[in-house]
Structure 1
Amino acid sequence: MAVTSESAALPAVSVIVVNYRGADDTITCLRAVRDELDYPADRLELICVDNSPGDDEAARIRQELPQVTVLDPGSNLGFAEGCNLGSRSASGQVLAFLNNDARPARDWVRAAVAVLRAEPTVGAVASKVLDWEGELVDFVDGGLTWFGMGYKRHAGEPDDGGHDAPRDVLFGTGSALFVRAELFAALGGFDERFFMFYEDVDLGWRLNLRGWRVRYEPRSLTFHRHHASMAEVSSARENFLLERNALAALYKNVSDETLAKVLPAAMALAIRRATARGDVDARQLEMARRPEGPDFDDDVPISRDALAGMLAIDQFVELLPQLKEAREVEQAARVRTDADLVPLMRKAMEPAYPLPRYLAAHEVLVEAFGLDEVFGRPRRIAVLTGDSVAERMAGPAIRAWHMAEVLSAEHDVRLVSVNAHVNPPESAFPVVAAKPRELGAHVDWADVVIVQGHVLEMVPALKHADSTKIVVCDVYDPMHLELLEQGRDTDDERRAADLRGVTKVLNTQLRRGDFFLCASERQRHFWLGHLASLGRLTPGLYDTDPTVRSLLEVVPFGLSSVAPRRTGPAIKGAQPGIDADDKVVLWAGGVYSWFDPLTLLHAVSQVAQRHHDIRLFFLGMKHPNPDVPEMGMADRTRHLSSRLGLTGKHVFFNETWVPYAQRQNYLLDADCGVTSHFEHVETTFAFRTRVLDYLWSGLPVVTTDGDSFADLVLQEGLGVVVPAEDPEALAAALEKVLYDAEFAASCRERIEVVRERFTWESVLAPLTEFCRDPRPAADRLSAASPLTRTQTPDRVEAVRRDVALLREYLDAGGPIEVAKRAGGRLRRLAGDRLRKR
């Protein structure tokens, strides 16, 4: 059959139907798939697995529907193994599982495929399922109890339009479910040990644990004769399968920590469910109930419904060696925690069975084993920094501190520093000093790891692409650009080697991370270029989120939401040479090589000739991290100030570093804040973190043009922006903000509005949102691959292409170009053959 242009853009879908003594229903179902769907016929494959040994149903289906591939295994494999057998014979990129007693709506396939194409992180699509008349709900959402029993939420309720919004679910019903074929194979398909019941719950559970999403899509609609294929199965046999399979799914999929508490309680509850269901006198063997006279071992009748629970536990034990191997696979592959999946469980603590003795036992077990704590455990987040965390902190440590502070409101957070100087202020979260070799334990503890700087290099296992831990990389500091300036004083060979090393460190982060934080839109464009060059901007990632903000978001430096309050004297009247009425210009950060305090000194010298009360105060000359050496610019600044006769008269240096909790006293004593820098690439992508303190304390800002902060000052009217290395312009700007009271007041009014946008709670919102539902980046999901592939051209088309290429190469370079291209093609073919071996 010819492939249309529309068909070429759509994946082939293999619809798999399992038949068990229901040929009439199966034929009706397959005819509907063949004749009534709005999907290209050449992209549909129909497969029927006949589980009816000894009947002629397979022959009848072949006769009625010759275009259907009918598989006859010769025995009843059960639903799970039957579906797996069908999947192994399927050629489609998408597998569609459909019950034989179901009827698909016209858009059933097209709507599901649209979701898979638009959202590459969706591994499976759960269809909306109604009863045969389309009036009552069969499946619109899945729930899971803490003891492993899945159930259909809202089943039997009228379809009132309240379930017509797509949403993520833990699992879809196997009666109408779409799964990416390659992914289904990678997971080993349905667990065949289940035979039937909960194989769909288990599959969805495993998909979610591996970071894939299961998406409920109401436009993908089917109608179902509920349990038409189960008419011959007794309730006791059904209960046996439900009980056994629930324990198996629970054992395979929960973490070690959860399993230790939940499995004993689940098995105990299964027994109580059995005795309550069978109305068994559970006290009949107590000694107080012993009859007078001989204690004969008379048989006691027990219903099969009660026996089902006991036999289920017995067979669960029988399966444990196999399940243990399966558990090891699932636990090694998981990238999400039990806590991550609790919202998808909907009501994990729901008892599920309305039997009085059972409900009493449920309450006792939940309390005795602390199960509310298990399923309410907060997510664990480790923030790893290489900076000194103490009373005196630099930008990276301040940023890491506030990340931990904001996230600790919802999660269990610990801040870990590998710096030797850790003496933190009091905090609501633990701050831990660790040697690099000790980081592994913190990483193992955490569900999400946030890294800065070089820290990722210290945890080799975390760097590898096959690591399943969720990693957030804070790349607000473009270290390689910074090093171009910082390394000017070193020799050329060392400088080049250092730059290569730092670039390699950053590239490792960019290849590994699941989510990235940068400080500005300018930086975001810069890092997008990096990610693109490393191949991270894949079609799958782009299709999931064309903005790519799910991978890279702007999280600028922040400021406290609490207004600064003076706690002691600082500059005015406290520093010798600075009086209470002087005009104080504050330089709030360190003095580094990429800054330009020299032009500022010349500007202050000019202003001082007209205004004798101007004072410039450098807040910190020595970096708070003792491991960071003083840069040459600091010494040059001291010398120029002395040469201009400013030191001790108009310019003052704090030779240490102000404690973070005391900085507000210095800010509140200032009249304006200043930052000046050179014009170079580091400036273009920098975000001057300490400058935000100016906004916090309401200080008008004077800044050099060229960075993102200058853009903000100019656009919002927060002060004056001047050209780089222009002392006259800088002097005029200082005079304006210091001595033009009306202008300064207008700046303060605008600052009061703008600073609300920069509170730590506001700027960290993208990180907070990610940590509420952390997942691997779309391009890091296991078994991810293109849904559709380029069609191999037929022989005639291939010859046409080769002739066209031959003409192109002759026109471009003659026979020499043809020979070169042919040689390259032969090498590629040889390489492909070697890889296949």
Structure 2
Amino acid sequence: MSVLPSVAVVILNWNGRSFLEKFLPSVCRSTYKNLQLYVADNASTDDSVEYVRSYFPEVNIILNATNDGFAGGYNTALKQVKADIYVLLNQDVEVEPGWIEPVIAQMMRDHHIAACQPKLRAYYDKKQFEYAGAAGGWMDILGYTFCRGRILYRTEEDNGQYDDAQDIFWATGAALFIRSSCFHEVGGFDADFFAHMEEVDLCWRLKRAGYRICYCPESVVYHVGGGSLPQGNPRKVYLNFRNNLMMLWKNLHPADRWIVLSQRFFLDVLAAVKSLAAGKPADMKAIYLAYRHYYRWRRTYDPSRQRLPEKRLLELTGVFHGIMIWRYYFLNRKTFRTLER
């Protein structure tokens, strides 16, 4: 009988007492046999650490000295975790007892699978896919991210239409299964991102290194979403635009970089004007700041930080060979399955 790979579920917490109280019990009911549980605390100022110590003594606690966001926080914490597979789980996710086993079984069938995600449904409407990952992340030719089951802010009801396991471009950071060896091989998360898009950047680098990213429909988890920054928050707008640009500059093949980024600049200017016209000047300012900080970052970025093969975007799985926002807004293609019609 083969030995089960060791799995460590690591929940990054920041002032999340209410989430831990609500969702940690479901994680503790997980049935996987070779399992460790961790709460990695990002310098919380509430009593969440004391709560875990008092009520969940079986959970290991890692104390980060500062709040370095999702990316830096996990990078620091995972240096202290020994396991074959990490499961990075948001503090606002409810799981079912057997949620781990199907994903591990899928990953063990092919050791080229570096990362995998379960199906992500909405906690408050459990028939609906959830924004942060739905049935697996994709990207279009201009670097816009979306999911099977979620295009822009529009989510679909789960009627079994995405119940096929398949390769995707990126796996959600809300419930990310990743081989520890692969995580460290490509340098973990980029701490410059702080939060948002860091999992897409990580998965892109894994693909450049020759690994697969997959989706496992047999495992279902339920995500609240927006626990740190809700949709529409200008800070979230800033991070999404800035980090997307940084990710494109880092990972695009030189032959693709300038054409993609020049088109993105034009479309992002339109997005900023649209925000102003919609009475959201803070969003317009967030897009401006994202570009300003991106250009500053680019002047100092050292490409020797990552030594990975350069691959054309269209060579990779999980890439839509079209412009998603064009088809969504002008061709009225509102679901993943209608994008290519």
Please state which band the TM-score falls in when normalised by the shorter chain.
0.7 to 0.9
For structure 1, which runs of at least 5 residues remain unmatched after alignment? 1-5, 281-300, 360-837
Deviations along 1:296-350, one digit per CA (max 9) or x if unpaired, are xxxxx9811111111000010121145x32x4454x4226432212x51225412
State whether structure 2 residue 96 is matched by structure 1 residue 105: yes
Structure 1 residues 108, 321: closer, same or farther in 2, change over 3 A? farther
Larger gyration radius, structure 1 or structure 2: 1
State whether structure 2 residue 292 is matched by structure 1 residue 310: no
State whether structure 2 residue 12 is matched by structure 1 residue 14: no
Contact 1:170 1:345 survives alignment (8 Å):
yes
Structure 1 residues 184, 348: closer, same or farther in 2, change over 3 A? farther
What residue number does 2:221 align with? 222
What residue number does 1:207 align with? 206
State whether structure 2 residue 48 is matched by structure 1 residue 57: yes
Say which SS state the counterpart of residue 72 (structure 1) adopts.
strand
Q: 233, 236, 240: which one pairs with 1:235?
A: 233
1:350-749 correspondence to structure 2 within 5 Å: 350-351=324-325
Q: Aligned partners of 1:143, 1:150: CA distance in 2, in Å?
A: 6
Say which SS state the counterpart of residue 129 (structure 1) adopts.
strand
Contact 1:17 1:83 survives alignment (8 Å):
no
Deviations along 1:654-692, one digit per CA (max 9) or x if unpaired, are xxxxxxxxxxxxxxxxxxxxxxxxxxxxxxxxxxxxxxx
Question: TM-score, structure 2 length as denominator?
Answer: 0.87
Tell me which protein shows more strand as a share of its residues: 2
Deviation at 1:69, TM superposition (A): 2.0
Give the AA of the match of 1:333: L
Q: Aligned partners of 2:4, 2:299: CA distance in 1, in Å?
A: 42
**Structure showing greater relative contact order (alpha-carbon pairs closer than 8 Å, 6 or more residues apart):** 2
1:55-134 correspondence to structure 2 within 5 Å: 55-132=46-123, 133-134=125-126
Deviations along 1:184-224, one digit per CA (max 9) or x if unpaired, are 01111111111111111111111112110001111122111
Q: Aligned partners of 2:127, 2:312: CA distance in 1, in Å?
A: 37
Deviation at 1:23, TM superposition (A): 1.3
Q: Aligned partners of 1:353, 1:270: CA distance in 2, in Å?
A: 17
CA RMSD of aligned residues (A): 2.4
State whether structure 2 residue 143 is matched by structure 1 residue 148: yes
Structure 1 residues 260, 230: closer, same or farther in 2, change over 3 A? closer
Deviation at 1:81, TM superposition (A): 1.5
Q: 16, 26, 36: which one pairs with 1:32?
A: 26
Q: Aligned partners of 2:310, 2:298: CA distance in 1, in Å?
A: 24
State whether structure 2 residue 277 is matched by structure 1 residue 279: yes
Deviation at 1:352, TM superposition (A): 6.4
What residue number does 1:339 align with? 314
Q: Aligned partners of 1:65, 1:230: CA distance in 2, in Å?
A: 27
Contact 1:80 1:190 survives alignment (8 Å):
yes
Give the AA of the match of 2:290: A
Q: Aligned partners of 1:354, 1:274: CA distance in 2, in Å?
A: 18
Contact 1:17 1:47 survives alignment (8 Å):
yes
Q: Aligned partners of 2:100, 2:75: CA distance in 1, in Å?
A: 20
Q: Aligned partners of 1:151, 1:218: CA distance in 2, in Å?
A: 17
Q: Aligned partners of 2:22, 2:77: CA distance in 1, in Å?
A: 19
Structure 1 residues 74, 114: closer, same or farther in 2, change over 3 A? same
Structure 1 residues 219, 335: closer, same or farther in 2, change over 3 A? farther
Deviation at 1:124, TM superposition (A): 0.7
Deviation at 1:80, TM superposition (A): 1.5
Deviation at 1:354, TM superposition (A): 6.8
Q: 245, 266, 276: which one pairs with 2:243?
A: 245
Q: Aligned partners of 2:322, 2:191: CA distance in 1, in Å?
A: 26
Q: Aligned partners of 1:44, 1:152: CA distance in 2, in Å?
A: 29
Deviation at 1:269, TM superposition (A): 2.3
Contact 1:23 1:57 survives alignment (8 Å):
yes
Deviations along 1:165-194, one digit per CA (max 9) or x if unpaired, are 100000110011100001101111111111
Q: Aligned partners of 2:114, 2:160: CA distance in 1, in Å?
A: 26
Structure 1 residues 168, 302: closer, same or farther in 2, change over 3 A? closer
Structure 1 residues 153, 277: closer, same or farther in 2, change over 3 A? farther
Contact 1:27 1:64 survives alignment (8 Å):
no
Give the AA of the match of 1:154: G
What residue number does 1:175 align with? 174
Structure 1 residues 153, 328: closer, same or farther in 2, change over 3 A? farther
Contact 2:121 2:222 survives alignment (8 Å):
yes
Say which SS state the counterpart of residue 118 (structure 2) adopts.
strand
Give the share of equivalent positions with the same residue, in percent: 26
Question: TM-score, structure 1 length as denominator?
Answer: 0.37
Give the AA of the match of 2:170: F
Q: Aligned partners of 1:316, 1:353: CA distance in 2, in Å?
A: 27
Say which SS state the counterpart of residue 82 (structure 1) adopts.
helix
Deviation at 1:140, TM superposition (A): 0.1
Deviation at 1:355, TM superposition (A): 7.3
Q: Aligned partners of 2:53, 2:106: CA distance in 1, in Å?
A: 33
Q: Aligned partners of 1:194, 1:353: CA distance in 2, in Å?
A: 29
Deviation at 1:62, TM superposition (A): 1.9
Q: Aligned partners of 1:203, 1:261: CA distance in 2, in Å?
A: 23
Q: Aligned partners of 1:84, 1:263: CA distance in 2, in Å?
A: 29
Deviations along 1:102-161, one digit per CA (max 9) or x if unpaired, are 112222211111112111111111111111243011210212133323222313211101
Deviations along 1:501-551, one digit per CA (max 9) or x if unpaired, are xxxxxxxxxxxxxxxxxxxxxxxxxxxxxxxxxxxxxxxxxxxxxxxxxxx
Aligned residues: 323
Q: Aligned partners of 1:215, 1:264: CA distance in 2, in Å?
A: 31
Q: Aligned partners of 2:68, 2:118: CA distance in 1, in Å?
A: 25
Deviations along 1:348-382, one digit per CA (max 9) or x if unpaired, are 412269779xx9xxxxxxxxxxxxxxxxxxxxxxx
Structure 1 residues 196, 353: closer, same or farther in 2, change over 3 A? farther
Q: Aligned partners of 2:78, 2:223: CA distance in 1, in Å?
A: 22
What residue number does 2:256 align with? 258
Q: Aligned partners of 2:41, 2:326: CA distance in 1, in Å?
A: 34
Structure 1 residues 276, 335: closer, same or farther in 2, change over 3 A? closer
